[in-house]
Amino acid sequence: MVAAGLPHIKHQPAESQPCFATMDIDIDTPSSSPRGRPSSCAGIDLRCLLSVVFGGIFTVFLLGASQAALPSASLFLQRYSAATQRPSPPRFAYLVSGSKGDAARLRRCLLALYHPRNRYILHLDAEAPNSDRAELAAFVAAHPVLAAAGNVRVVEKANLVTYRGITMVTTTLHAAAAFLHGPGAAGWDWFINLSASDYPLVTQDDLMDVFSRLPRDLNFIEHTSDMGWKAHARAKPLVVDPGLYLKTKRDLMWMNTETQKRELPTAFTLFTGSAWTVLSRPFVEYVISGWDNLPRTLLLYYGNFVSSPEGYFQTVACNANEFRNTTVNHDMHYISWGEPLGQHPELINATHWGRMLGSDAPFARKFGRDANDVVLARIDEELLARQPDMLIPGGWCMGNVGAGSGDDHCSAVGDATLLHPGLGAARLQRLVESLLSEDNFRPKQCKIVEHNN
């Protein structure tokens, strides 16, 4: 069952049936990386016990969550009892992007997503004034926890991003490369691309708890090869993204669509899906270094594609033998497209609450710019236990430290590996179990349909 018995390939994808613990063999990277260590389910229970010992308000959540969240933990324990080492919780590398007028909600999003073990890159595109970037950087530098942990970077030299253009993808790749190789690059396990109009529905402790039981090579990429109307409307026209070479923002430039259409590709299969993904580190390394050139070839191809962010990662993952088996067909978001299905997501308001929570997704979009948005306030209060303008609490919080910190329990970092998962972990666990079930995982993975013309 565990990958160790299989031939050595670079990144051993999750084996035939879903399991929440597997060995991810990676012979090329230093052993300091959290991958390559067996993840153990035994560790989870130990952590739960530890958390109970620490007590406090979270115990109540925890008891509720651990029962609901781990219905089959004993099964996994039996299967993987050989694995004994308790893995440290996974780390996430977040890119959060915004544009003109987004500085305030970008900051709020950061506070709601924060954990001292994670990495963050904040990108306000070139349309936002420099003063916004400077203010954001000053905020991070002056914040006691953010500054001490030193894990938030504000991109100073902003990219120009063209709506539906390849510059959306290159901006994402820029951050991915910085997370891998830039100053302060450090260990992380999953790369998550969000915008200022996204918001979390679970705490980072919830996310880390559930992801600590997953094979670390899984990629959450919503995808289909059924291009439908997109084959004509998106794959055949040729566009040029001026954001690649101009200093000021322009719209996509369209070639004459009557005479200058291109054929659908035959050298690879097109996939399309959601622009929102959760990507594993091995996959991000592959996309950035492109050792068999597929990621680079496809980047060039998508350079003239309409809405490339909805296809690039999908097409790379599903055409790469090494990664096809690691895709989970979901984007980890609640997005409301309306009835009938629209082209743009609806702004989330109070009427979406039930469906949003019922989706069990860890993130939602799209939220507007209103700082007093009632839904965001309710998420902060009921789902995240976050006070206005404060960091989201977690097991890492070390109580009330320093003068003037008032009610803030999170003014200093204690043991950052200590998790206090709550009800959000139970919801997310339910989603992940459903996605990795026999009905969903393999059957929905990179399936090829034949009728795209």
Q: Given the rule CB under 6 A, which residues bind ligand NAG?
A: 13, 16, 97, 168-169, 172, 193, 195, 275, 309, 312-313, 321-322, 325, 346-347, 349, 351
**Identity of the residue, 58 or 334, whose beta carbon is nearer to ligand NAG in the bound complex:** 334
For the CB of residue 25, give the shortest distance to ligand NAG in the complex, in Å: 12
Name the nearest CA neighbour of 23 among 8, 1, 38, 9.
38
Q: By C-beta, is 58 or 323 nearer to ligand NAG?
A: 323
DSSP state of 12: -
Given a contact cutoff of 8 angstroms between Cβ atoms, the answer to whether 23 and 3 are in contact is yes
Of 86 and 174, nearer to ligand NAG (C-beta) is 174
* Cβ closest to ligand NAG, residue 43 vs residue 165: 165
Whole-angstrom distance, CA of residue 428 vs CA of residue 220:
13
CB of 198 to ligand NAG, least distance (A): 8
Closest to 220 in 3D by CA, of 372, 80, 69, 428: 428
Q: Where are the beta strands (DSSP E) in 39-115?
A: 92-98
366: closest CA among 407, 387, 324, 335? 335
Contact present, 174 and 159 (Cβ < 8 Å): yes
What is the nearest approach in angstroms of ligand NAG to the Cβ of residue 314?
9
Output 125 or 205, the one with its CB closest to ligand NAG.
125
Report H helices in 203-352: 204-211, 230, 281-289, 294-302, 312-319, 321-324
Quote the least distance from Cβ 325 to ligand NAG, whole Å.
Answer: 4
Q: Which residue, judged by CB position, is nearest to ligand NAG in the bound state?
A: 309
CB closer to ligand NAG out of 311 and 393: 311
Closest-CA residue to 86 (of 22, 40, 52)? 40
Which is closer to ligand NAG, CB of 195 or CB of 359? 195
Residue among 16 and 67 whose Cβ is closer to ligand NAG? 16
In angstroms, give the least distance from the CB of 16 to ligand NAG. Answer: 5
**What is the nearest approach in angstroms of ligand NAG to the Cβ of residue 416?**
26
Give whole-number Cα distances, 406 to 142, 144, 381, 403, in Å.
Answer: 17, 14, 18, 8
Chain-centroid distance of CA 178 in Å reads 16
Reported as type and span, the H/E element at residue 424 is helix 423-435
Residue 361 CB, shortest distance to ligand NAG, in Å, is: 16
CB nearer to ligand NAG: give 370 or 415.
370
Q: Give the C-alpha separation, 151 to 145, whole Å.
A: 10
Tokens matching residue 266: 């035959």
Closest approach, Cβ 366 to ligand NAG, in A, equals: 10
Of the pair 44, 375, the CB lying nearest ligand NAG is at 375
Q: Give Cβ neighbours of residue 400 (< 8 Å, ≥ 6 apart).
A: 406, 407, 408, 409, 411
Contact 117, 416 (CB under 8 A): yes
Strand order in the sheet with 272-280: 152-154, 119-124, 92-98, 190-195, 272-280, 219-224, 327-328
CB of 390 to ligand NAG, least distance (A): 24
